[in-house]
Structure 1
Amino acid sequence: MAKQQQRGAIIARCARNKPGDLLSCTPGWTEYAVLDDKFCTPAKVPAGAEFLDYLGALGMTGMTAYFGLLEVGKIKAGETLVVTGAAGATGSLVCQIGKLQGAKVIAIAGSEDKCNWLQQDLGVDLALNYKSKTFFQDFKKQVGYLDCMFDNVGGEMLNFMLTRLNKDARIVLCGAISDYNNESPKGLTSYMNLISQRAKIQGFIVFDYAKHYAEARQQMAEWLKDGKLKRRFQIAEGLEKAPETMPILYSGGNTGKLVLRVSEAGLPSAKL
């Protein structure tokens, strides 16, 4: 994952921006980079936000949550939305956007602390720990069936959710963190339910919606300003920590947005 989204300050001349301007871009994990300025977004921090939000709600993470749920998932008020990887950066935003749309939000996470955060701080209707021995029974009893699923996990969890579909359900494929480093991933066996339930399963790439980023970013900024979106940053200090920080994503060790802070030079201090 060489092209991680970053934030930084210009220190040399360029055509569209001046030294000292703050930008959001994807230069890789590096202290200095030479970039084409057309691929850099001016990071103007709106009221109620902070610069770090360009790595979260106002950046690629937020755009993924926004377009994945609203344009691909087409969530509606009153529907049951299930979000896997719900305590991560994208999942936690999806949960909150779902609530703002009037959905019943079921969050799936990997610890009791994460589930408590999702219910108490983010206001989901129900958070379930998938590591619980009774998870599958609990889901069947407390949730039943779903109308929309935003999937960040894949694997066994996705296969199970395929058995819990309401008619015309939609499954949004955002990621499959359980299989990225799995040497022998298992295929899906419950996909026939897609036929009987007239359901849809669709992957998407957020770059397809690039022309609409500005309007989505404006809406996300308004929600931040109004206190309707909450976020959490988990920060590791120093580029030398990259090798030990990256695996945290695969072990489920992060809550909210995992950030590797390369340097504070020339940047405003973040209020965390």
Structure 2
Amino acid sequence: MATMKEWVLRHRPDGDVGPDDLEYVENAIPQLADGDVLLRTIYLSLDPTNRIWMSDRDQYMPPVRIGDRMRGGNICVVEQSRSDNLAPGDIVSYFGGWGTHSVTPAAMCKKLTAIPGVPLTAFQSVFGGTGITAWFGLKDVGQPKPGETVVVTSAAGAVGSIVCQLAKLEGCRVIGIAGGAEKCRWLVEELGIDGAIDYRSEDVGAALDRLCPDGIDVDFENVGGEIMDAIIARMNNHGRLALCGMIATYNDDGPVPGPRDFAPVLMHRLRIEGFIITDYMHRAQEAVEGLARLVVEGKLKWQDHVDQGLENALQSLDKLFTGGNRGKLLVQVSPEP
């Protein structure tokens, strides 16, 4: 009997995700029905939203049920097929979760075409949900104009690092907020933004006053909490806050605090808009084509942080909440074909 390994949710975490909240188990691989394919996972995407899916709080999709496989995006290779649309050896993207294998209808998979000189991991970072989120969050929600000041939180992360570069290409002054001197150096020296703030060693408000003397026009917000408060207090009239994430609050399953002072929202006529990538998937090709053009032209850099082994996925996930990664966090589950 063929078997697979997978992580299943055992408890709703209380605060930080602990070793008792998920269990690494071995189960039989289901039989294929007509139209199904058997997939072997090559890469697993780890994202802050993994923590949201473990909770039963109000969210944009139902939470993972207790006893079910942990949710997540994958790049996979087809090992067996009972479909005319996919053949063994095809590479696909699939929302299969934290497992070594998946059986699914072929219609649930998206076949990927290799791009010469571009690593396979790019389909889960710059050409995947990461890049699509950055593209529409900045362009459609943030709507930056040349000469404006854009602040990006979690700027050295997967989405933030792409947003920083897209904002520079729009002709904006870009300030990134990240954790650690090395991340800040990378943002300024390698990505070419105008300034970076190390929230671990600097007073964020004072640093914003120094680096944004004319105020802030756009905030691409990934963090929330006190950092978002400091930004809102310094936004210009008709500023836009694109709310992509609030990672500072994801491990707190109690009520999430809002901004401490809403007066600037009124007085400066700010627009705060949350967005989710699923709202834009019908336009995904638009973003991918734009991002691909920038990559080919050498105008866009990205970085993948790849850990090894599905058995280590839980420890890897913690890096998203402690600042242990730079760029897109992935787990390599099995070798590339």
Report the alpha carbon displacement of residue 230 of structure 1 after superposing the two structures with TM: 0.9
Q: Quick one: distance in 1 between partners of 2:240 and 2:107? A: 35
Contact 2:204 2:227 in 1 (8 A): no
- 8 Å CA contact retained: 1:48, 1:226: no
Q: Give the Cα separation in 2 of the matches to 1:101 and 1:25.
A: 32
**8 A Cα contact 2:302 2:327, kept in partner:** yes
| Structure 1 position 47, deviation (Å) | 4.4
Structure that is richer in strand per residue: 2
> Match for residue 259 of structure 1?
330
Q: Does the CA contact (< 8 Å) of 2:204 and 2:230 recur in 1?
A: no
Deviations 1:24-59 (A, max 9, x none): 121001111012333322221334522110110100
SS in 2 for 1:172: strand
Letter of the aligned partner of 2:80 in structure 1?
A
Question: Any unmatched runs of 5+ in structure 1?
Answer: none
Measured in 2, the distance between the counterparts of 1:134 and 1:158 equals 13
The worse-fitting range, judged by mean Cα deviation, of 169-178 and 189-198 is: 189-198
Question: CA offset at residue 79 of structure 1?
Answer: 1.0
CA RMSD of aligned residues (A): 1.5
- 230-239 or 111-120: which moved more? 230-239
Q: CA–CA distance in 1 between the matches of 2:108 and 2:145?
A: 34
The unaligned stretches of length 5 or more in structure 2 are 1-49, 51-69
- Equivalent position of 1:49 in the other structure: 118
Measure, in 2, the Cα distance between the counterparts of 1:41 and 1:183: 34
Matched ranges for 1:176-187 at <5 A: 176-182=246-252, 186-187=257-258
Any conservation in 2 of the 1:49–1:221 contact (CA below 8 Å)?
Answer: no
Distance 1:103 1:234 in 2: 27
Aligned residues: 266
Contact 1:147 1:166 in 2 (8 A): yes
User: 1:195 deviation in Å?
Assistant: 1.0
Partner Cα distance (1:90, 1:229) in 2: 13
For residue 132 of structure 2, what is the aligned residue in structure 1?
A: 63
Does 2:225 match 1:155? yes
> Which whole-Å CA distance do the structure 2 matches of 1:141 and 1:220 have between them?
32
CA separation of 1:135/1:161 partners in 2, compared to 1, >3 Å: closer, same or farther?
Answer: closer
**Structure 1 Cα separation of the partners of residues 98 and 146 of structure 2:** 40
- CA distance in 1 between partners of 2:261 and 2:113 (Å): 46
Task: Give 2:208's aligned residue.
Answer: 139
Report SS of the residue matched to 2:324. Answer: coil
The structure having more radius of gyration, on CA atoms, is: 2
Contact 2:175–2:211 (CA under 8 A) maintained in structure 1: no
Deviates further, 9-18 or 100-109: 9-18
Matches of residues 69-80 of structure 1 in structure 2 within 5 Å? 69-80=138-149
Aligned to 2:244: 174
Equivalent residue number for residue 318 of structure 2: 247
Are positions 1:118 and 2:187 aligned together? yes
Which deviates more from structure 2 when the two are superposed, residues 180-189 or residues 228-237?
Answer: 180-189
Q: Deviations over 1:138-160 (max 9, x none)?
A: 21122131110100000111111
With the length of structure 1 as denominator, give the TM-score of the two structures: 0.93
TM-score (normalizing by structure 2): 0.76
* Counterpart contact for 1:46–1:221, Cα < 8 Å: no
Mark the CA change 1:26 to 1:116 in structure 2 (over 3 Å): closer, same or farther.
Answer: same
Q: Is the contact made by 1:232 and 1:255 (CA closer than 8 Å) also made in structure 2?
A: yes
